[in-house]
Structure formats: structure tokens, C-alpha cells
A and B are shown apart, each in its own frame.
Chain A
Amino acid sequence: MANKGDWVQLQSTILEPGFRAPQVPKDTAEVPLTQWVKGWLMHDAKVGDEALVRTRTGRQVSGKLVQEAPSYSHSFGAFIPELLQVQEGIKQALWGEEQ
């Protein structure tokens, strides 16, 4: 349960399939145009509820509450051994075997 004033993320559909721009490719035309915004919740609500937020510029936006206290989880990703190999190869190409 999120309380009024909590920082949350909302999701909403801007354009349903069938109302997409005429120039989009088929795969895109078959899915909706979806929007995600973050803001301070204007009333108590739980994930999945229709909710209203006030955004950082003071706009009021509605949508389905999808995340409470949204954060970032992007990272440097899994180990890529090829990059290590590339680095060693480049060093050797300039400095030679003594590296």
C-alpha cells in the first residue's frame, strides 16, 4: 500500500493498437503506445490501482500504479570475456610480447 505523498511510477496507454500513426511498422502497430511517469501520489493507493500523481513540474497525471518507490537497477552487466581478450590484444599490438 502506498500513501498519499509517496513517490511512485504510473503506467498508461496513450494510443491503443489501431490508433497508432499510419507510418509505424506492423509489429509496432499491433501494440499500444505506453507511457510511464513518476510523481507524488495524491491519494492512498496500491499497485494495480488507477491513481493520480503530481509530477516534479507540478502536472497532475493519472495512470495505473505500477511501482512504489521506483529505483534504478541498470548496471555494467554480466562479465564479457571478449572485452578482456580485446584489451590484451591491443596492448600486445602496441607494446609487444613484454606486456
Chain B
Amino acid sequence: MKNTSYAAVLGRKNQIMKSAVGLDYSQFESGSIGFDYEGMMASTKLSMDQVMEVMQSFNVGNTPLIELKNITALARKYAAPGKGARILVKDEACNPSGSFKARRAALSVHMAKQMGYKGVITATSGNYGAAVASCCAKAGLKCIVVQECYDSKGLGQPEIVEKARKCEALGAEVIQLSVGPELFYVFLRLLEDTGYFNVSLYTPYAIQGVESLGYELATQCRKQFGKDPAMVVATNAGGGNLTGTARGLQKAGCKVPLVAASVDLKGLHMASDTQFNRKSFTTGHTGFGMPFTTWPDRSDVPRSAARPLRYMDRYVTLTQGQVFYMTEMLVVLEGMERGPAGNTSLAAAFSLAQELNQDDLLIVQETEYTGAGKHQNAQLAFARENGITITIGDPKDQVPGESIILPQTPKQLTATEVDLTHLRQSLIRGALGDATTMPIENDLRFLAGETGSDLNFVRTTITRLLEERHETN
């Protein structure tokens, strides 16, 4: 009889994961700070053509790239003369399960089937659950989705309740939990009990699946518009969307600045029972975006394949009110009901486009489905019921968890820049741990890649950190 206490199960984590992911992560470790990231990514041994074939077998991908002419025209009203790029959006809501997450699920479910697993398990409160359930329906595999759904009083976030419905509608077993990171404990126990495959969001398969999005986006843009985009914007939470898209763009030979965008939920604790239902976005927000950017290896696999700081050229934030506003703009100017969470990057695009020239192309790389529970009206109604004030005014005055302020004018739809230097330093500080000496050259190179910076930046940062430590000692 196995010990099922919290500590005992977490102590068996590596062993459980090894049999549940079909990948021995230890082979990529160096023994010090760095690990062989590219070696890990190549371990799938799948070419882009093979990835595309798998996508097609699940009817995933080939989503339309749509020009948002009216939103572009409106953005130009607030731009300097000659400025205001053409804004395009990749309508990923057209995937069978309603979001880009279908790409992330397809390859993993395909591999689970190939490796002979009878079923799969995923821990997610988001669109990924529906994506996995949808692919499992097609592959004939059993599917368990574990989600953090309710606070301790049993009050459910409507967006998550809707996702439970969608997963169950697609044939999955949904296990719902109250707030807390111990979801991981339940998840591990389920993996151990069932012997199912862990379709983690963070395996090389999941991220290579998203590479199809970046690759497709580049080839489609060239075909439809005869050139490469001048900027791509991606909503950022766990970092897989951004990482996969960036790698896919690279594989298509498309060198384009990539901007990450998250909803600013500063001040709200993600593991707090009482604050859980005081946020109107359950993903795409800084509560995931910041920690996963500065320390990617906090996921359900030993090494995350999603490493967003390697790929982002800029990182911007938006308020909840700004994203709701953009969601309405998409409805009323383009006739498209999508999101709202998936529209974070679109909200960012409105002001980013104003920095670019009118003949430039700016691509927002996803949309997601909407519906009961998820819709902006459902989210705002839930927020109001829970004591959040909702007004029209200056979004800059919004306090997450207390108020939502919808902009008064499109002029207030401006993205706020995050200091990437600070995030890079934070990642290096975490990687350094309690070291008191300069790491070896290989680790410095790893950290340069890891932070999308260079050796000089890494050395300077570490030298300063070590000096500070000597001073405090």
C-alpha cells in the first residue's frame, strides 16, 4: 500500500512523471544550472511536416488570417500621420475545440496513443481541457481533466464552470477542486492510480504543436499579403503560446519582433481562496505570466518546454477593463464575438499598431471561442455580484480585485510596457540560487539563451548579485 500523504506523493514526483510523460528528463541535465533545451525539444524526432500531418488528422489548424479593417481605421485616428499598421488576427477559435490550445493537445494526444497509453490526464482550468477532451474523443482515448474551479464556499468562476461543461460535453471526466496548488497532488495521485499519460501543457510535444501556429501564420501571411509581418503579438500566461509561436516563426525563417501581452492582476494572490473569484480573467494574466516568465520550471514536468523569456522582444500589460473594451470593439466593428481572455493580445495591438507604419502588418496570433460563462457580460455580471465596482473612466485607475474600469475612449486603449531587464535579472537571480561564485561558462551561455540576452549582460548581473551578497554577509 503506497503512502498517499501530501509529502509522500510529492516525494515520488519524478518517478511518477517519468512513467507518465514517456520521457526521461535527466538525460538533458548538465548537473549544474543549465540543461540541453534544444536537445529536449529535438527528442520528439518530429519534423514540421509531420507535426502538420498530425494537426490535419485532428482537423486542427488552417485557421483564417483575417484583416481587421475597421479596428485598423480606428487605431489610425489616434496615430501620428502615416502610422497605424494593418491589424490582422489569426482566428484560432475556428479550431474544433475553440482555441489554439487544440494545437497543443493534438500532438500530445497523438503521441499518447502511439505509445500505447489507454488514457490521458491534464491539469487545467482553461481552454486546454476542452482541447484535450476533443482530441481524445477523436483518438478514442479516455480523458481526465483536473481543474481548480470553486472557492471553499463552492462558488465557481463562471468561465471555469463553462470549461467544465465543454470538457464533459466532449466526453471527459472532470475532477473539480477548490482553490490551492495542491491540485498538483491530486493530479499526481491520479497519474499513479490510472497509469495514464500526462498531457502536460509544458512537454516538448505540447510546444511543438504550437510551433505549427507560428509556422502557419508566417506562410499564410506571405501568401495572402506578399510579405512578412512587422510585429506579432501573443497573449502570455504559462509561456507556451509565445514559445511555440516564436519557434514556429523561426522555422519558417520569419524574423519578426514578438510582443507578449498579459492582463495586469498585480496584487491578487493566485492561491488565495478569498481572492480567487475577484478576478475576471482566469488566464492570460500576470499571475501566471510573470512567475512563468522569470522561472519556467514551476510546471507539472521537470523541465518546461515553454521558456518565454528566450523569445519575447517586449512584454506589455493591459487592464481587465481594456481587454473587455477591445472585446466589445471586435464585436461592434468587426462583427466577431470572441474571448474575452484571448483578446488580451488584440487589446495590446491597438496601441502597438500606432507605433508602426501604415503599410506594416501586425499579427495578433489567436482568438478563442466565447459563450455562457466566458462572455464579457457573464464575467462583468459575476464581478459585480461579488462586489467589484464597474465603471467607465480612466483604466489606469483600476485596482485588480476591487474595480474594473472600461475606457471612455479608444485613446485609452494603451498597453503598458514591462521592464524586460528586470525580468531577466530576476530569472538569473533565481537560477543562481545561493551560489557565491561565478557559474561555469556553459551555465552563463545557458542563462544568456534563457533570458534572450548576451554573455555580457549575464556576467554583469551575476557580478552585481554576488557583490550584494558579500556586502550583506
Encode contact with A along B56-100: 1 for CB under 8 Å, 0 otherwise.
000000000000001001100100000000000000000000000
Encode contact with A along B256-278: 1 for CB under 8 Å, 0 otherwise.
00000000000001011111000
Residues from chain A with Cβ under 8 Å of B390 in the complex: 80, 82
Residues from chain A with Cβ under 8 Å of B172 in the complex: 56
Encode contact with A along B201-232: 1 for CB under 8 Å, 0 otherwise.
00000000000000000000000000000000
Encode contact with A along B321-348: 1 for CB under 8 Å, 0 otherwise.
0001100110111000000000000000
Known: A21-B6, A75-B373, A82-B380. A31 touches B152 (CB 8 A): yes
| Pairwise interchain contact B152-A78, C-beta atoms closer than 8 A | no
Encode contact with B along A71-90: 1 for CB under 8 Å, 0 otherwise.
01011111110110111011
| Pairwise interchain contact B328-A57, C-beta atoms closer than 8 A | no
Contact of A80 among B152, B274, B377 (CB under 8 A): B377
Q: Which residues of B in the span 144-182 have a Cβ within 8 Å of any Cβ on A?
A: 144, 149-150, 152, 154, 156, 158, 161-162, 165, 168, 171-182
| Pairwise interchain contact A83-B162, C-beta atoms closer than 8 A | no
Known: A25-B272, A34-B177, A37-B175. A91 touches B410 (CB 8 A): no
| Pairwise interchain contact B274-A82, C-beta atoms closer than 8 A | no
**CA gap between A74 and B384 in the complex, in Å:** 15
Known: A77-B382, A93-B409. A28 touches B173 (CB 8 A): no
Contact of B331 among A32, A36, A74, A87 (CB under 8 A): A87
| Pairwise interchain contact B410-A83, C-beta atoms closer than 8 A | no
**CA gap between A28 and B178 in the complex, in Å:** 9
Residues from chain B with Cβ under 8 Å of A19 in the complex: 6
Counting CB contacts under 8 A, is B15 at the interface? Answer: no
**CA gap between A79 and B377 in the complex, in Å:** 7
| Pairwise interchain contact A86-B372, C-beta atoms closer than 8 A | no
Q: Which residues of A in the span 1-48 have a Cβ within 8 Å of any Cβ on B?
A: 14-15, 19-21, 23-25, 27-28, 31-38
Contact of A34 among B152, B161, B181, B406 (CB under 8 A): B152
Measured between C-beta atoms, what is the minimum distance from B299 to chain A in Å? Answer: 16
Residues from chain B with Cβ under 8 Å of A85 in the complex: 392
| Pairwise interchain contact B406-A82, C-beta atoms closer than 8 A | yes
Residues from chain A with Cβ under 8 Å of B144 in the complex: 57
Residue in A closest to B407 when the chains form the complex, CB atoms = A86
| Pairwise interchain contact A28-B328, C-beta atoms closer than 8 A | no
* Chain A contact residue count (CB 8 A cutoff): 41
| Pairwise interchain contact A36-B176, C-beta atoms closer than 8 A | yes
Residues from chain B with Cβ under 8 Å of A62 in the complex: none
**CA gap between A59 and B373 in the complex, in Å:** 29
Contact of A82 among B142, B158, B372, B392 (CB under 8 A): B392
| Pairwise interchain contact A33-B178, C-beta atoms closer than 8 A | yes
Contact of B271 among A23, A89, A93 (CB under 8 A): A23
Known: A37-B175, A93-B77, A94-B74. A80 touches B410 (CB 8 A): no
Counting CB contacts under 8 A, is B301 at the interface? Answer: no
| Pairwise interchain contact A20-B74, C-beta atoms closer than 8 A | no
> Most chain-B Cβ atoms within 10 A of its Cβ — which of A31, A55, A77, A78?
A77
Residues from chain B with Cβ under 8 Å of A24 in the complex: 180-182, 271
| Pairwise interchain contact A74-B372, C-beta atoms closer than 8 A | yes
**CA gap between A24 and B152 in the complex, in Å:** 14
Residue in A closest to B153 when the chains form the complex, CB atoms = A31
Measured between C-beta atoms, what is the minimum distance from A41 to chain B in Å? Answer: 15
| Pairwise interchain contact B380-A21, C-beta atoms closer than 8 A | no
Q: Which residues of B in the span 362-410 have a Cβ within 8 Å of any Cβ on A?
A: 372-373, 375-382, 384-385, 390-392, 406-410
| Pairwise interchain contact A83-B380, C-beta atoms closer than 8 A | yes
Known: A15-B6, A90-B329, A94-B70. A59 touches B194 (CB 8 A): yes
Excluding A56-B142, A57-B143, 17 further A-B contacts by CB distance (< 8 Å) are A14-B185, A15-B180, A20-B180, A28-B152, A28-B180, A35-B177, A59-B173, A74-B161, A75-B158, A75-B373, A78-B385, A82-B406, A87-B328, A89-B408, A90-B328, A93-B409, A94-B77
- Which residues of A pack against B, CB within 8 Å? 14-15, 19-21, 23-25, 27-28, 31-38, 55-59, 72, 74-80, 82-83, 85-87, 89-91, 93-94
Question: Can you give 10 contacting A-B residue pairs, CB < 8 Å?
Answer: A15-B6, A24-B180, A24-B182, A28-B273, A32-B152, A35-B175, A55-B173, A57-B194, A77-B158, A86-B324
